[in-house]
Amino acid sequence: MLCDLWVKNMTTKTVLLVYAHQSAGSFNAAVKTAAVDELKKQGCRVLVSDLYEVKFKATATEDDITGAVKNPEHFCYGNETMLAWQEERLASDIVDEHKKLKEADLVIFQNGVLNYCGFQVLAPQIFWAPTHLSPEAREGLLEGWRTRLQGLLNEAPLAFPPADIFDKGKGFQLKPEVREKQADSPFGLTVGHHLEKPLPPQSQMKAGV
């Protein structure tokens, strides 16, 4: 089980938890409850998007747009939804989730996929095979999660080099000026661009993937 943690600025304490599991008696549900309870104790406002409860639709179709599409004969989801967003014609369920994201300073994705879109990213919380553990061991995992939640808002984000330091025309090699600047650093950049140096303390290796 994987919890992705995405963080923006910390001027307020609104947390969005995106939860996806079909059983209220599952370990996933226990992880969600622990997060909601612990964060509320810290004075956070907690929003929960329960994808099963709202019958979340994972398919990308014309139903995500209200009104007519621009090109019904060749529907291009990206172009059509961009236009619909600009014209405020996205479906109400999408608008509701956008609103939650705008309000959130911290986003927790349970069973998420690491996919970084303008967020600073914290190391995920990974629970290895909880269904094969004893109740006592599962409670130990939850206690570790509660402990981490107490300091979650102050965690340092992982370091991910921006795309513009790579030369797209040369197979995403580091640009010469970046390599030169990095020569004086005690650390490399990424797993693929370590430059024969240790990785930064907050490198993507802390993601556990």
In sequence order, which ranges of the chain are alpha helices (DSSP H)? 27-41, 77-86, 92-103, 135-149, 176-182
C-alpha distances out from residue 36 to 24, 42, 178, Å: 14, 10, 42
Q: At the topology level of CATH, where does 2-154 sit?
A: Rossmann fold (3.40.50)
- The pLDDT value given to residue 48: 96
The pTM assigned to this predicted structure is 0.69
In degrees, rounded to 5, the angle at the alpha carbon of residue 80 between the alpha carbons of residues 78 and 82 is 65
For residue range 105-156, list pLDDT tens digits in order: 899 988 654 445 567 788 888 888 888 999 999 999 999 999 999 998 888 8
Distance, CA of 48 to CA of 112 (rounded, Å):
14
Question: How many contiguous H segments (helices) and E segments (strands) does the chain have?
Answer: 5, 7
Task: State which amino acid sits at residue 194.
Answer: H
Domain boundaries, the chain: 2-154, 163-207
- pLDDT tens-digit readout, 15-74: 999 998 888 999 999 999 999 999 999 999 999 999 999 898 889 999 999 999 999 999
In which element (H, E) is residue 121 found? strand 120-126
pLDDT in tens, 75-89: 999 999 999 999 999
Residue with tokens 């990095």: 182
Residue 83 CA, distance from chain mean position: 25
